[in-house]
Structure 1
Amino acid sequence: MAVPTPQGRPDGTGPAPVVPPELAGPLRTRLEAVADEVEEEVRRQVPEYGRLGDDAYGRHLRSGVVQALTLFVDHIADPRGRGEAIAATYHELGRGEALEGRSLDALQSALRVGGLHAWRLLGRTAEDLGLDSAVVSALGELAFQTVHEVAEAAAAGYAEARLRDSDELERRRRRLLDLLLGDGPVSPEAVQDLAHTEAARSLRWATRALGLMGRGILPRQGVVRCADHLSVLVLHSDEPLLAQLEARALAPLDAASEGQRPRLAETLLAWLLSGSNVPDVAARLHVHPQTVRYRLRQLEKLFGDALHDPGTRLDLILSLRAAALREQGGITP
């Protein structure tokens, strides 16, 4: 296959990667198959996309993968193409994450994982076609340039939506404050229109948070923002139900001695939160890894195979976290 003469980068920093435009054809025929494998790899490595049936993260995954691969191949076919339509798609993906109140971490992780896996697969195709190492290397550079482009578009959409949402919320707050502090009569309809920033829900959260602060479960000093402690608020939204969950999930610990129980519970929570990584658990608890392994053997005897069941692990994390928060506040169940 003939290799074209370098034409130079668009920014003038040096020669452009040497990628034969005719390579776009063979790669395009593999696009759907590669998209299948990339989608599977993203679902495997990025937890948010691995939740089967979770439309919040999964509904745009396939489209996003195909769009990014298409942009990569389009850049090969025409290096001067700018791919505005595909960039707009990722701009909307980033904007959607912000509007849903999620961070951009999952989407960025998916781009990194998907980009690397796609490059492995497409690079293998290039090698099968007998291209020399310079072309394969140039393809790699182009692949990561493509990931960078779509990641930037997603970040721009995310930032734009966050800014608009923040500006609108602040504007409504100022208008509501002016209305309430003004001299004239205030109609309930006007207050309702400006306060549908969910004041009733905010008051309910604040009341619950105040109760948890009084018990030491939430910090007692400084300003406590409910948005910073959502998991604790959810965990304590139905305390009788939480008590039943704890009693069932932590029942195997009753077989341990009273002195062993706190250490085993602490080790189990650290082990679950660290992804079963013994050195991480040891560092978190400031003990020797061998001590962690000894305690884990005891926990295996108490819980058996249940320790490796995803549903049981979630119940244990919730129960152990609730117990740890109570202990932190000096509260006896």
Structure 2
Amino acid sequence: MSDQVTFPPSVVAAMQAQLPAVAEQTVASIVVEVPSYADAFAGQMGRAISNAVQLALGGFLELATTAGGADASRPIGPALEGAYSLGRGEARSGRSMDALLAAYRVGARVSWRHMSDTAVGAGLSVGALARFAELVFAYIDQLSAASVAGHTDELETTGRVRRHHRERLGALLLAGRPLHDLTPAADRAGWLPPRTLTAVLLPEVRARGAVALLDPRTLQLDDDPPGLDPALELSVLLVPDAGEGARVALLRALDGRSAVVGPARPWTAVAGSYARALRALGLGLRATGPAPLDTEQRLPELVLRADEDALADLRAAALAPLDGLTPATREKLAATLRSWLLHHGRREQVAAELFVHPQTVRYRMGQLRDLYGDRLEDPQTVLQLTIALGPEAPAR
């Protein structure tokens, strides 16, 4: 069988005469058989679909009456452009391609039934009829493919625009911009503000998997977040409403992703959460095992190390009485003094923590009292020693 079919002039004339009626019947069938379009034809979308049906049928007749015969592989520009626009319109309306593809199937069936009846009645040979059917459905496949392409392109375009607006919003949030800047930016991004946001730092390669487990409103910043060294290749996530009881679920979702998690803050004040996470990162704080670093659990270290120079000076002054000791003795007495302060002088608990006999604790505290004298009873000295011997206190 030839790849082309030639229509006699009488057949062409008969089909052209029936074109308006076939278009009307096609639209009517779509309304009945595709519920999603039941109300669409009353408005602009209805006019677009009606025009597309007539354009498609006209394109088909052009295909069928081309000199030398009809070839379904030959593109028909206007009809395909119309189908492409329909696909984009469906994406803009928020619908999937299901309804439009169903409409194409209905259109193919109705068009084939009426146009084949017309063609046979006008004298089309039975031998050409089978090829005519192939031509109809191949043409519908072309239109369907064009609409799918339009739908995909529109989603990609709107997705890029939405991502751009959300990244811009994230940048404004981290910059601590005022509410009158944030509100219109959130509107442009189609983003409903939550009650709180929590800043999370994690490697870029692990961000995509994390986002899939979090609130869909989570904002992600990858392009040079403020204060981050680009060489670290870190992403920033701003996670909605992950405070209080919801924080446990957030930490669980970030397990094994080398994340640093700031505190929950009102959404307009998330810059403070980001600053906390940056501070923990800069101080080199590390979590134990695969769990994320929860800055809420490391507040003493963050406070004590807010001014490293001041802390170093305080330690030097508070621990000066131990300077004349050997390093080993100094380390033992410092550990004993720290435990004594934290346990409020309860010797048995100090001994259990240090794995020594209570008499050893008593002996060491005697040495410390010889070195410090009455200052161990002074509240100000006790405060300074507690800070000096706090988390990660270095042995000198």
Partner of 2:130 in structure 1?
Answer: 137
Q: Which amino acid aligns with 2:7?
A: P
Match of 1:161 among 131, 154, 174: 154
2:89 equivalent in structure 1: 96
Partner of 2:99: 106
Q: Contact conserved, 2:30 with 2:106, CA < 8 A, in 1?
A: yes
Q: Are the equivalent residues in 1 in contact too, given 2:84–2:146 (CA < 8 A)?
A: yes
Task: Report the CA distance between 1:30 and its aligned residue.
Answer: 0.8
Q: Report the AA paired with residue 154 of structure 1.
A: S
SS where residue 94 of structure 2 aligns? coil
| Aligned partners of 2:49 and 2:86 also within 8 Å | no
Check if 1:59 corresponds to 2:47.
yes
* Deviations 1:274-326 (CA, angstroms, capped at 9, x unpaired): xxxxxxxxxxxxxxxxxxxxxxxxxxxxxxxxxxxxxxxxxxxxxxxxxxxxx
Which residue is 1:74 aligned to? 62
Displacement of 1:186: 1.9
User: 1 CA distance for matches of 2:92 and 2:135?
Assistant: 31
Q: 1:87 corresponds to which residue? A: 80
Identify, as 1 or 2, the structure richer in helix. 1
For each residue in 1:160-188, what CA deviation from the matched residue of structure 2 results, as whole angstroms up to 9, or x when unmatched? Answer: 00001111111221222122223xx5244
Question: Letter of the aligned partner of 1:99 in structure 2?
Answer: R
Identical-residue share of aligned pairs (%): 26
1:48 aligns with 2:40: no
**Matching of residue 18 in structure 1 with residue 9 in structure 2:** no
1:119 matched residue in structure 2:
112
In structure 1, what is the Cα distance between the partners aligned to 2:136 and 2:194?
A: 49
Larger radius of gyration: 2
For each residue in 1:3-40, what CA deviation from the matched residue of structure 2 results, as whole angstroms up to 9, or x when unmatched? xxx8xxxxxxxx41323263333211110011111111
Q: Which amino acid aligns with 1:88?
A: E
Aligned length: 193
Deviation of 1:130 after TM superposition, in Å, equals: 2.6
Q: CA deviation at 1:192?
A: 3.2
Task: Report the counterpart of residue 186 of structure 1 in structure 2.
Answer: 177
* Aligned-pair CA distance for 1:132: 1.8
The secondary structure found in structure 1 opposite 2:96 is coil
**Which runs of no fewer than 5 residues in structure 1 stay unpaired?**
1-5, 7-14, 205-221, 227-333
Indicate conservation of the 8 Å contact 2:6/2:65, yes or no: no
Q: Which has the higher strand share?
A: 2
Q: TM-score, normalised by structure 1?
A: 0.53
Question: What amino acid is the match of 1:16?
Answer: D
Any idea what SS the aligned residue of 1:30 has?
helix
Match of 1:36 in 2: 24
CA 53–66 in structure 1, closer or farther in 2 if over 3 Å, else same = closer
Q: Which protein, 1 or 2, shows the higher relative CO under an 8 Å CA cutoff with sep ≥ 6?
A: 1
RMSD: 2.5
Alignment of 1:177-216 (within 5 A): 177-182=170-175, 186-196=177-187, 197-200=189-192, 203=194
Counterparts of 2:141 and 2:102, CA distance in 1: 12
Counterpart residue number, 2:292: none
Letter in 1 for 2:149: A
Counterpart CA distance in 2 for 1:21 and 1:170 is: 55
Distance 1:114 1:53, change over 3 A: closer
2:84–2:147 contact (8 Å) kept in structure 1 = yes
